[in-house]
Structure 1
Amino acid sequence: MKAKFIVIGYGWRADFYYRIARMLPEQFEICAGVLRTAERAEEVSEKEGLFATCDLEEALAKKPDFAVLCVPRTIVKEYLVRLMELQVPVLCETPPGKDSAELNELWAEAQRLNGRVQVVEQYFLQPYYAGALEVIKKGFLGEVSEVMLSALHGYHAVSMYRKFLNIGYENCTIQGQKFISDVTATNGRKGFDYSGKVVKMDRDWAAMSFENGKTAFLDFGGEQYFSTIRTRRWNIRGVRGEINDSTVRFLNRENMPVQQDFRRMDIGINNNSEWAHKGIMFLDEEVYANPFYPARLNDDEIAVASCLCGMQEYVMTGKDFYPLKEALQDTYLSFEMERAIESGETVRTETQSWAK
């Protein structure tokens, strides 16, 4: 069954939904775009070839299954409350609030209005992370107690920490620090840069110690998402093994050490097939299968499309895939992590309203 939705807002992230709807028209349909002004709506309508308006009620008259919310953090709560009042299911793209107080206010409103909200935290649905989570689920590492990510920032990193470590709503102590270094610009949201210009890069370091003894470490530089000369690194440690980048080291049933890499299967390399990601193999098993193969989506598009499928199932059955409660916890911890990084002081988290 095709998912039919409206997109509120327009920009770099909203463009993912427009691209996915174009590439997977049999699964997804944007029935309306909602913009700030009539002039902007006219521009988007002409560019995307679909109905766009500055009137939310006019967009809702198209009878969407749900709304995708892609607006700045400063106004996301306002939109969420309005949509919950209208009893519209919402897939919220941005963090659901600008500070901890607003997160708690939003939870109270969601409880009062019985809001139906899921949040686009897509990284656990990207092929690599989904494959790593499956390896952990199968028990190759034993109980996982320590994670280091040098790949994601803020709430994205916290979400993966909690999933890798199987953390619920435990509190933690956070230490952090910020460093500044020079790096040559190579690539970004606006495309490749061959000028050779040198830019300042923030490098954030943080250590999170949870009440159950598990730990998470952040080492992130702002250029890492796009840079062609700054790599992404992962280390996920369990009692019987670890994942280091794409290499898994573990003990087998006879306690003999085994080393095996993830093998990514991309179709169309060195042959004349159309390029598409197929899945990830580990040992003799496929630990991740791209649900949209053979569509030509990049890893983040695959993950966002998976969020749309999860939202459609949520609307139909009530089954969560990343509910507001989880998003509030990840966002709250990311705020506290940012506070530790900016201040250099030790921060201790406290149980929030959604976790009581």
Structure 2
Amino acid sequence: MIEHARAPWVNTSTTTNSAPLPEPTRFALIGAGWRSRIFVDIARARPDLFTLTAVLARRPAAARERLGADVPMVEDLDSLGRSRPDMVVVCLPREVMPRWIEALVDRGLVVLCETPPAGDLSELRALWSRVGDANAVQVAEQYLRMPENAAALTVSHSGLIGAPTSVHVSSTHDYHAVSMIRGLLGAGRGPATVRSHRRTSPLADPLDPDGWTGDIEPRPRTTTLATIDFDDAGVGLYDFTENQWWNPLRQDHLTVRGTRGEIRDGSVVRMLDATTPVTAELRRRRTGEGMNLEGSDTATISLGDRVLYRNPFEGGRFNDDEIAVATIMAETGEWARDRPARDAAAEGPYPLADACHDHAIACAFADATDEPTRVAGEPWMSGRH
């Protein structure tokens, strides 16, 4: 039997397998789309850490078909609240997300909403004006919690490559990429200047969310390049091609440049001393390969003898996205349970203010094709949260 690794947010003085597990995070769910299924599957895989208390969906029969016949369906928000969740996960389109967030906050519930929390800049401002002061909303931005990105984040903030000065992300789109760039730079919610450029070029695109298309004829696909200048906090380069998440002909790239070295994809170069630059690789330990019989899983990511990342859900057989989603769920659950005792200004793992800022910057990509767009003076930038 494979023992589950203890989640890193457990505060315990012992490392034995008999140590108590953390209190499971109780969550309710609104929505039954494909993204909702990920939260349900995580709870099924790790019932020791997550308990699904209720599901509210517009079409209950279809929700049961998609999510499973065993999910606890309810008919309204009052019934959902009576299931006593630590938080409510909201997986709905951005067009309707704000009114659901507001309704839940009005009921005194903690919200973990899918990205983004609203559609455009005016909707972000309106949402913030109504619920920002409550400090009750987290957003399920998971990309910096993916194992390889989390390891890069540790290196970037460790001093190994000095102070980070620029970040290039070519893997995911819009606010996801902005959150990675800001996090890796250590940039706060300060002003930013955005310049962008789009170009359409032919590209074969043989795979989409529905599977292999059988078509390798190049078709027009648009690539967006944007620079984000965070004033004194560094600069980011956003680089994304349509359907890049699925297209196997476009590889993911991540570069973090610092004052004494850089991370380039899985390689780290740094100064060992005043005359000795060295290069080392980020190495992922996977179980279940070859003669290893522990089961297929990610265990650690290391740089030489430094372990940079440990999978907190080892034994769950999660892919990287599932690990990242489970991490933001657990962090939000702990934050929600600690609310009565903690400082009222404690922001949590990825608060609404960060989500608003990252999405506002991403919205500027579309506005900055001819002249630079300045993102500044927004209410979430200078508030107490």
TM range (shorter): over 0.9
Q: SS at 1:73's partner residue?
A: coil
Task: Give the TM-score normalised by the residue count of structure 1.
Answer: 0.93
Equivalent-residue separation in structure 1 for 2:284 and 2:233 (angstroms): 33
Give the match for residue 44 of structure 2.
22
Mapping for residues 1-356 of structure 1, pairs under 5 Å: 1-44=23-66, 47-111=68-132, 114-196=134-216, 198-212=218-232, 214-273=234-293, 274-318=295-339, 320-340=348-368, 343-356=369-382
- The answer on whether the counterparts of 1:169 and 1:351 sit within 8 Å (CA) in structure 2 is no
TM-score, L = length of structure 2: 0.87
CA distance in 1, matches of 2:201, 2:354: 34
CA displacement 1:138-158 (0-9 Å, x = unmatched): 211101111111112110111
Deviation at 1:195, TM superposition (A): 4.2
The separation in 2 between residues aligned to 1:179 and 1:251, in whole angstroms, is: 38
Change (3 A) 1:41 1:210: closer
Q: 1:42, 1:276 → 2: CA distance?
A: 29
Change in Cα spacing, 1:97 to 1:236, as seen in structure 2 (3 Å) is same
Q: Alpha-carbon deviation of 1:198?
A: 4.4
Report sequence identity in percent: 31
Instruction: State the Cα deviation string for residues 232-290 of structure 1 (Å, max 9, x = none).
Output: 11111001000111111111134410000101111112235210001101011110000
Residue 48 of structure 1 deviates from its aligned partner by 4.4
- Deviation per residue, 1:201-236 (Å, 9 max, x gap): 221111112221621111111222122221011111
Distance in 2 (alpha carbons) for counterparts of 1:312 and 1:141: 33
What amino acid does structure 1 have at the position aligned with 2:31? G
Would the alpha carbon gap of residues 163 and 115 (structure 1) be closer, same or farther in structure 2, given more than 3 Å must change? Answer: closer
In angstroms, what is the RMSD of aligned CA positions?
Answer: 1.8
Q: Residues 50-72 of structure 1: CA distance to partner in whole angstroms, max 9, x if unpaired?
A: 12234222222222221001000
Q: In structure 1, how many angstroms separate the alpha carbons of the residues matched to 2:147 and 2:216?
A: 32
Q: Secondary structure at the match of 1:223?
A: coil
Q: Report Cα offsets for 1:87-134 as digits up to 9, x if no partner.
A: 11000112111111221221221145x251111111111101110111
Instruction: Report the CA distance between 1:44 and its aligned residue.
Output: 4.5
- Helix, strand or coil at the partner of 1:265: strand
Output the amino acid matched with 2:119. Answer: K
Instruction: State how far apart, in whole Å, the 1-side matches of 2:338 and 2:313 are.
Output: 21
Structure 1, unaligned runs of 5 or more: none
> Compared with structure 1, are the counterparts of its residues 164 and 38 closer, same or farther at alpha carbon in structure 2 (3 Å cutoff)?
closer
In structure 2, the CA distance between the partners of 1:296 and 1:207, relative to structure 1 (3 Å rule), is same
Pick which of 218-227 and 298-307 moved more: 218-227
Contact between 1:262 and 1:282, CA under 8 Å: does it hold in 2? Answer: yes
Question: Is the Cα contact below 8 Å between 2:190 and 2:381 reproduced in 1?
Answer: no
Give the AA of the match of 1:243. Answer: I
Moved more, 35-44 or 246-255: 35-44
CA 1:49–1:187 in structure 2 vs 1: closer, same or farther (change >3 Å)? farther
Matching residue's letter, 1:278: A
Which secondary structure does the structure 1 equivalent of 2:116 belong to?
A: coil
Checking the alignment, whether the CA contact within 8 Å between 1:170 and 1:212 is kept in structure 2 is no
Specify every segment of 5 or more residues in structure 2 that has no aligned partner in the other structure, as ranges. 1-22, 340-345
Task: Tell whether the 8 Å contact from 1:77 to 1:96 is kept in structure 2 after alignment.
Answer: yes
Corresponding residue SS for 1:228? coil
Q: Is residue 84–residue 115 contact of structure 1 (8 Å, CA) maintained in 2?
A: no
Give the Cα separation in 1 of the matches to 2:35 and 2:158. 33
Q: Secondary structure at the match of 2:280?
A: strand
Are the counterparts in 2 of residues 42 and 53 from structure 1 also a CA contact under 8 Å?
Answer: no
Q: Output the CA distance in 1 between the equivalents of 2:62 and 2:74.
A: 8
Deviation at residue 197 of structure 1 after TM alignment: 5.3
